[in-house]
Structure 1
């Protein structure tokens, strides 16, 4: 029986990924070292393919928070990696509201709308995240099919508050104490944090609805 491996950045994404059954799920903690360790654990679990799953940032100004992404190309360090067409199809790439195109890998969180615009103009990629490029390179080296299923959490026009860059602990959970300390020292970011929370809620619901369609994944 085929068994997919799923790499997420956060534990909240792992909960959504449980609909991808049967699957082995590992969290990176949104770090490169964590992602590589998680991928090694997935290989040890004898998965037959790997999916990079969760949230992404929009680069194309035309796509909004909540847009489902199934990119056919992952752009990493000036090199393109092609995701597996058959796996993309099983994940729902034929559905009308799914956005294909290219996704850009970044080792850092892209925090400003100006930087997103610059990256879109330079690369033509419609979105960006911090795990998919690691998955693409790893799977290419190990000859394993891979795909990316993501949802846009922050649109191209959204500037991220400083707190967004320090919210995660290394196990992919929210670092609550660190978040509280940062808010106390910089309360001016509360407004932008609320707006980001609204977009994140939209993204979470859309991805949950998408993967909660059990018939979508019965052939995996």
Structure 2
């Protein structure tokens, strides 16, 4: 049988194609992405990672083995470490608009609300499916972009982060857990996993698109992908 993570990726490969073709990513590669757009992305990523770490902890609490619990605890701690570095080092160096830093914008909130809702109310498999796209999409971007001649040192560093062996191992460990759990899913469970994964994959696209467009604070958002 094809592993669960491969089936999930295949069913959502068109979203990844949209991501790599998005002007945020193409501009990051060819240097035309504006510093303000990248700063917008980094500011919102700090908000996102804080809630992503919380989702990881909730999912870890439902994990079936002590090894899985420990893995999610490590990943949550690593995520908070990155979030703190963004706030204390990266953002000040970029001179990002304080409003953008202080406020979690609609696309960010919609994504993290989705993750936390699934992690809290769903099964371990549900939560795992929801957080997987963030792991695998960034790992694939790191792999696909690492050998390209990215001239901007800041953008080069961003790509290198997701091609780094430590991140690649983290992704490998999570997908291994998902594939192990996937073997025991019944059709209803797997359908839910596909739905949660697809929603998160679409939110990933929206996240880059919001940064590229310069999304502004608003209280009027539905939270739908």
What TM-score comes out, normalization by structure 2 length? 0.34
Q: Which has the higher strand share?
A: 1
Q: Which has the higher helix share?
A: 2
What TM-score comes out, normalization by structure 1 length? 0.34
- Higher relative CO (CA 8 A, sep ≥ 6), structure 1 or 2? 2
